[in-house]
Structure 1
């Protein structure tokens, strides 16, 4: 029986336990970035992009580099939230490549976001920077990532985005 059939049959669904998520740290991605390029104000906000120029990947399981050429598309919304859609490739030390799609948000108090925009160092706990990450690869060692979701906990510096990647188990 599916969920609808169970409800229609009068079966009580309230006692079914659904697990809370747990996570496992995969790696820290430090993506070096070029300056922000603005395409101007659109009906939805300021459309802009940031080119990813390289970087490093470090963790117990995954170590390697960020391949130059990715892009972080951004929409600076009127409510102050930065809508992020990054798309890039990481490569492990053995040469295996993994495509990353990272979609999320960065926001905080106006004065904190102004300091970030000015290139100042700002503690990550002063603002919200989270992304939902999916992967695609043909590399046998990393193929299990194709069916997993990860959460990125981020920080922004003047020249890089730092993302701690946690697999949702």
Structure 2
């Protein structure tokens, strides 16, 4: 533990597995502009972790990504979480996906998938979500063969403390 009051520290708070239902690409609105899309949340999406457990409400939202001309995807997702205690929590998740990426230490990763969620949670045990900065990392897992799991993404979220 550092004594630096400006040091960034984080704690893993939960993971979300989002199963997708439909994907549409609507193309560019203006010639030469970015492409737009829509990806809806399907059934069976889960939330699990040390601070929050539950599920995503089936068909409760979607991501409206923008695929920029530089190949960076801007995420803009909205959906509902139903916690194990029945509380409904709104999440808006903004982020970037692009790759491949060379890290400063020489490590190569296949894609950069980072996000910053914002929440509207009821007072009580989930109220901490309304006042905590949380960041997430993600990984897309498309269905490539009939034996693969359904098309989904995995997100791991960390509270910045």
- Whether TM exceeds 0.5 here: the answer is yes
Residue of 25, 49, 55 corresponding to 1:59: 49
**What is the deviation of 1:70?**
1.0
Cα distance between partner residues in 1 of 2:75 and 2:113:
10
**What is residue 99 of structure 2 aligned with on the other side?**
108
- Give the SS at the match of 1:144: helix
Cα distance between partner residues in 1 of 2:55 and 2:155:
13
Question: 1:27-106 to 2 correspondence within 5 Å?
Answer: 27-43=14-30, 44-54=33-43, 55-68=45-58, 69-106=60-97
**What is residue 135 of structure 1 aligned with on the other side?**
119
Q: Is 1:156–2:143 an aligned residue pair?
A: no
- Give the SS at the match of 1:100: strand
- Give the SS at the match of 2:126: helix
**What is the deviation of 1:137?**
1.1
**What is the deviation of 1:139?**
4.2
Larger Rg: 1
Cα distance between partner residues in 1 of 2:21 and 2:89:
22
Question: Which runs of 5 or more residues in structure 2 are unaligned?
Answer: 101-108, 143-150
**What is the deviation of 1:86?**
0.8
Q: RMSD of the alignment, in Å?
A: 1.9
**What is residue 24 of structure 1 aligned with on the other side?**
11
**What is the deviation of 1:34?**
2.0
Cα distance between partner residues in 2 of 1:166 and 1:51:
24
How many residue pairs get matched?
A: 140
Cα distance between partner residues in 2 of 1:166 and 1:97:
20
Question: Which runs of 5 or more residues in structure 1 are unaligned?
Answer: 1-16, 110-124
